[in-house]
Structure 1
Amino acid sequence: MSKHDFSLEEFSSRRARVREAISQAGLDWFIAFHPVSIHWLTGSDAKSYQEFQCLLISADEGPVVVLTREGERNEFQDDAHVDQLWTFGGAEPEDPLQVFERVIRSLGLESARVGIEVPAYYLHPHHYLSIKSVLGAALVAEPSNLIHDLKLVKSATEQKYIREAAKINDRAMQVFANSLRAGVSELELAGDVYQTLLKAGSGLAASPINLVSGERAGFSHGPPTQRVLKQGETGSIEYGATFKRYTSTIGRHFCIGKPTSRVAEIYQIVREACDAFVAEVRAGVPAVVPHEAAKRIIAKAGLDRYRVHTSGYGLAPGFPPTWGEPMHLFGGSDYTLRAGMVVTVEPPIFIGEEFLGVRIIDNLLVTDQGAERLSQFSRDIIIVD
């Protein structure tokens, strides 16, 4: 994504909503560190999340300020909506927190009420401690999901981009199905998928492909290896496509030859759990409700302890290492589904001692009437002789 992917009016609306949220939180300023937050407010697609970066925005009208490494100066200036740009480093190392302190002083934040994001992957503990020291008593809150919660409902343009990513996913899955056979390696199959994704217009997704087979089929997030598939084996694949940074994901189960009765049994349970999940998705429903519906199906089969992760989550314009949003359709969630949200459905069963796992992954657009499945690819087991 860049500033050219959305209208100036859409960016202005996003900033206005963030300013209102800052004010409602009783804050004067908010400092964002998550690359998705910075991307959503500026259009920046830069890799500056690899080092220190932040965006500062006030509750009142004023400049949106970004601090990033000098290597990203040209990209931010040409490809992002930034009112004031500060940089550190360049030809020689520089402590970004020294520059951060100068930014804080220049904006007068030391006498304001400031909130910050504390993201899981993008803020080093030492930087966090230094930020707390620089801000001192001005730091009064850490509402890390302030921006993320505003972007859960996707605009018409965002939905358009996610739909395009879903179409690319379908094309790549068909290529995978056509390439699947005994004698081919997991990496060869992954290569065919990636080639199709890139040729079809996908960017590189935030999370790498999961592809497991044979004795690795019980791994829920295993990467492809040089392992060669054999007749009679089973496995699963999951990957994401992106269009202008907006992500769609898909996952399917496969067999080389006729599925065993046990594979067919587990697959049917997972599919019924997915159907129960989808049937509960609509605007106004607590996010925990679809999860509980899927959980009941798996628990009734006596397999609840093999339900190894969330039943679903919100999809973001992701940056490595994840495309997921804070909203999970899982136990304890306090979110409520709203029209325009895009969520995954993927209640799993992975049984390590049986070297077996099944997961069917699709994306749903939440509507007032129910759920619209974005992928058109068959949810049946992919079977090749």
Structure 2
Amino acid sequence: MQPRSAAFSVDEHRQRFARLRETVREAKLDGCLMVAPENIYHAGGYETWVGVNSPQFMIFTKDEDEPTLILRNVDLALAQETTWIRDIRTYHLHTDSVPGLVEKVLKEKGLGKGRLGIEFQSYALPHAMALSLEEALPSFSFTDCTDLFGDLRLIKSPAEIAMMRQAGAFAKIGLEAAARTLKAGMTEIALAAEIEAAMRRAGSDYWAIPTELASGWRSAGGHAAPRSKIIEPADLVHVEFAGVSNRYHATALQTLAAGEPSGRARELYDIALQSLRAGLKATKPGAPVDAIEEASLEPLRKAGLEHAAMMRFGYGLGIAYPPIWLETLQISRGFDRRLAPGMVFVLHSCLELPDEEIGIVQGGTYLLNDDSLEMLAGAGDIDLVSA
């Protein structure tokens, strides 16, 4: 039976779950205590943010048992409207033992010892809960499966790509609102309000990271949230935010100017564009991620600005919940991975010059097809727009 609010068919979720279980077997795990809300949603269909507030688990073994969801009793209706999983156990916060309930479910599944996979790097697993699980389950060993399970989400299905295209459409509406309403004299918060309201009115879901927006002397902060600062004439203003469809994110990035910018600002913007173009040119199926970032750095080295590139060139994107929207894919030096069709990622050039009080971020969200790189959201490779 299709749950009332499910974004995908039960068949699609079951196919994802089958791949997940096969991954557990290949890793020689006996079972899994899945905690990351993005992974539970991907395989189990349960769509809710509350895993970072109240403990939640999707429990299954390497055998053919049906998965079990553990969640807080007040959230039972949220699960029933989205998940295909029928075995749902609940607890009452602060009075019931969550580790005790986990132990009970494992015993029912025939597991009294063995190796369990869990996402130790998830924000949904506080350190105190991890310690409590280890204390309640002394016969088990735990293996960090953050990357193992997260990697299963990197290649998007046709239905997921449709979601991400819709998210990109919301992000485009946000960028259009930014360009249309930006003017000297308004506050950063007022500009952010125009962007966010436009996307929400269009139907965007909520985003996992607050809108990032900084102007003028604040623009050298790469992840600045908007403040009550007045946007001044000639200020550079960079924005980064996501449109969201059923938790699938498409991130838009653009640096604009409030009026006529300085010559130095234009010079730095053009160098950032050269970096973006070089990285985009290197982005293709089979390309090593470290080589892509190296390509993006070449124009900066020639300009003596490599030190100003403080952010990775890219990262994977898809399902996300607060407080973060990055997937396990990192398009950066230090990682041994190659790109494949069906991956979706943010690519951006970044120049941060605190001494000059200038920062530029430019790029967007891209889908890698068999023979093309498709931009889903963002300004990308365009000349500096002056409002």
TM-score range, shorter chain: over 0.9
| Cα root mean square deviation, aligned | 1.8
The answer to whether the 8 Å contact 2:49/2:322 transfers is no
Match among 267, 291, 294 for residue 293 of structure 2: 291
Separation of aligned partners in 2, 1:24 and 1:324:
25
Question: Is the counterpart of residue 300 in structure 1 residue 293 in structure 2?
Answer: no
Query: TM-score normalized by structure 1?
Result: 0.95
The answer to whether the 8 Å contact 2:242/2:250 transfers is yes
Separation of aligned partners in 1, 2:281 and 2:184:
37
The answer to whether the 8 Å contact 2:251/2:378 transfers is no
The answer to whether the 8 Å contact 1:3/1:44 transfers is no
Match among 54, 78, 83 for residue 80 of structure 1: 83
Q: CA 1:140/1:179 → structure 2, altered by over 3 Å: closer, same or farther?
A: closer
Separation of aligned partners in 2, 1:211 and 1:140:
40
Question: Is the counterpart of residue 70 in structure 1 residue 70 in structure 2?
Answer: no
Question: Is the counterpart of residue 383 in structure 1 residue 386 in structure 2?
Answer: yes
5+ residue gaps in structure 2? none
The answer to whether the 8 Å contact 1:2/1:43 transfers is no
- 2:328 match: secondary structure: strand
The answer to whether the 8 Å contact 1:212/1:219 transfers is yes
Tell me the residue number matched to 2:32: 30
The answer to whether the 8 Å contact 2:169/2:377 transfers is yes
The answer to whether the 8 Å contact 2:364/2:379 transfers is no
Tell me the residue number matched to 1:139: 141
1:188-235: CA deviation from partner (whole Å, max 9, x where unpaired): 111111111111110111001011112211111111111111212222
Match among 94, 99, 112 for residue 97 of structure 1: 99
Match among 224, 228, 231 for residue 229 of structure 1: 231
Q: CA 1:233/1:149 → structure 2, altered by over 3 Å: closer, same or farther?
A: same
Separation of aligned partners in 2, 1:263 and 1:296:
20
Tell me the residue number matched to 1:58: 61
Match among 170, 173, 187 for residue 171 of structure 1: 173
- 1:86 match: secondary structure: strand
Match among 18, 30, 38 for residue 16 of structure 1: 18
Separation of aligned partners in 1, 2:139 and 2:114:
9
Bigger shift: residues 324-333 or 129-138: 129-138
The answer to whether the 8 Å contact 1:115/1:142 transfers is yes
Separation of aligned partners in 1, 2:4 and 2:38:
12
Separation of aligned partners in 2, 1:2 and 1:165:
21
- 1:302 match: secondary structure: coil
- 1:327 match: secondary structure: strand
The answer to whether the 8 Å contact 1:3/1:43 transfers is no
Q: Percent identity?
A: 26
5+ residue gaps in structure 1? none
Tell me the residue number matched to 2:196: 194
Bigger shift: residues 146-155 or 70-79: 70-79
Query: TM-score normalized by structure 2?
Result: 0.94
